[in-house]
């Protein structure tokens, strides 16, 4: 019997909220699906806020209200000849079964499934779910609380579960987000040394701090950055080094 190909499962995951998990999920999902031609699906498990589902609702309203976005969306979907990627509401203790059911029931199996997960290890099913993810990317900031909580959790995944072959994780990568150019470079060098001394993998690309990460489409806007319906504008991506991040991301996951 012929078996279906299995999608690559990717999660932006960390143990602190507000460091960019949902933002990066939407940025990468949109770029892969709309610009690079991959088939993408997203499972939003970030109970109770379900940030990506709410973002999709706002995006749909904004595209209808902003004439420039409406034209961009029409041109895009006419050109790529496929729908927007689906975003499913789920929870960490049942998402694995729901992903399997979705893949088995789909005529076109997604190349990539992104999981948007809660930022706490105490969530039911979170460890079981993470151990079935293929690639984990963890945004970190130069904040001691954020860094220590993320490092301790990543250390367990890397040096306990992965080394004991108790997981489907292929690799875990941390990356600097919200890097303020005014901060001392020694601060990042010292923190980066701690990361590598623990045997953890740190991405080369750093993401510059930008107000764009906290902004979505506006009625008067002419360019898009964070959206589930359109990929980020290339110029805006270059300014915060998102383009370089995506290049490194693609080298890692080898789609």
Least-confidence region, from 89-93, 115-119, 152-156: 152-156
**For the whole model, what pTM was predicted?**
0.90
CA distance 62 to 56: 10
Measure CA 132 to chain center.
16
Segments of the chain assigned E as strands: 8-12, 40-44, 87-89, 112-116, 135-140, 171-176, 201-202
Of residues 206 and 123, the one with the higher pLDDT is: 206
The predicted-structure confidence for 161-190, as pLDDT tens digits, reads as follows: 776 667 788 999 999 988 877 776 787 888
Mean pLDDT of the chain: 87
Name the CATH superfamily housing domain 8-253: P-loop containing nucleotide triphosphate hydrolases (3.40.50.300)
User: Residue 83: is its pLDDT beyond 60?
Assistant: yes
**Average pLDDT of the segment spanning 60-87:** 95
Alpha carbon distances (Å) from 51 to 22, 91, 184: 7, 13, 33
Tokens of 27: 């940025």
User: What pLDDT does 2 receive?
Assistant: 44
* Residues 22/46, Cβ–Cβ less than 8 Å: yes
Do residues 157 and 136 touch, judged by C-beta distance below 8 A?
yes
Average pLDDT over residues 80-92: 96
Bond from prior residue into 175 cis (ω within 30 degrees of 0): no
């Amino acid at each position: 019997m012929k078996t279906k190909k299995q999608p690559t499962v990717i999660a932006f995951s960390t143990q602190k909220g507000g460091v960019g998990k949902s933002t990066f999920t939407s940025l990468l999902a949109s770029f892969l699906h709309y610009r690079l031609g991959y088939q993408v699906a997203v499972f939003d498990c970030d109970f109770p806020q379900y940030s990506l589902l709410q973002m999709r609702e706002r995006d749909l309203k904004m595209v209808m209200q902003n004439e420039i976005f409406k034209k961009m969306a029409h041109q895009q979907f006419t050109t790529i000849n496929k729908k927007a990627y689906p975003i499913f509401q789920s929870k960490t203790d049942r998402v694995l079964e729901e992903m399997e059911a979705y893949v088995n029931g789909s005529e076109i199996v997604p190349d990539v499934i992104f999981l948007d997960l809660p930022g706490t290890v105490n969530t039911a099913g979170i460890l079981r779910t993470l151990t079935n993810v293929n690639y984990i990317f963890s945004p970190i900031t130069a904040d001691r609380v954020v860094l220590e909580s993320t490092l301790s959790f990543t250390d367990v995944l890397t040096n306990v579960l992965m080394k004991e072959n108790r997981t489907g994780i292929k690799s875990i990568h941390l990356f600097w987000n919200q890097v303020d150019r005014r901060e001392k470079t020694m601060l990042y060098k010292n923190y980066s040394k701690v990361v590598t001394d623990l045997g953890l993998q740190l991405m080369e690309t750093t993401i510059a701090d930008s107000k764009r990460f906290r902004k979505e489409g506006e009625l008067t806007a002419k360019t898009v950055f964070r959206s589930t319906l359109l990929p980020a504008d290339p110029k805006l991506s270059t300014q915060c080094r998102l383009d370089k991040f995506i290049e490194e991301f693609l080298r890692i996951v080898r789609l």
